[in-house]
Amino acid sequence: MALTTIPIVKSTNSKIAKYAVPVLGIVAVGGLAYVGYQFLKKDLPPKLDTNNDYPASTLNQVQALSIADQLYVLMAPVGNSNVSKVKTVLTGLAYNDFIKVYDAFGRRQYSKFWGNDGDPLTSDKHHLITWLTNELEPEEIKQIEKIIPNLLTVGIGT
């Protein structure tokens, strides 16, 4: 069946035929924009909310930033992170304390390829949980989860 035999297309006076191509074009551009947006926001730091089932955080912003910086210094160099030191830094933090440290860490330059703070060509900015999951082995993450329960199982993608 040729397009000219379809009554709506054949009739150039039809409003549907007149606006079909521009509407389809707008839908296509909108779809591409949405896919692009989803791709670009792939590692936005998810918002972690405090959990009222755990004790309230006792950290202030300066303390949280200090802990975030310590974690960064331990994980930034090339090679495996020193898990015992990462555990030491995280020991004593309650779940809600970790949320403050996570927020203070923000997004920092990290190369998943090199496993370090990277360079602008081979790295992107990633949140703390991405850093932890890429720097630590699964067994080591389980050790960290003994300190901060359900830390990496809150549905956060990396």
pLDDT in tens, 117-143: 666 666 778 888 888 887 788 888 887
Q: Using an 8 Å Cβ cutoff, are 107 and 144 in contact?
A: no
Q: Using an 8 Å Cβ cutoff, are 93 and 147 in contact?
A: yes
Report the distance separating Cα 66 and Cα 62, nearest Å: 6
86-104: per-residue pLDDT in tens? 888 888 888 889 999 999 9
Q: Identify the pLDDT of residue 155.
A: 38
Q: Which of 134, 63, 140, 124 is nearest to 98 (CA)?
A: 63
In three-state secondary structure terms, 135 is helix
Q: Identify the pLDDT of residue 1.
A: 46
To the question of pTM greater than 0.75 for the whole model, the response is no
One-letter-per-residue 3-state SS of 87-127: HHHHCCCCHHHHHHHHHHHCEEEEECCCCECCCCCCCEEEE
Report the distance separating Cα 116 and Cα 78, nearest Å: 5
Class of domain 61-147: mainly alpha
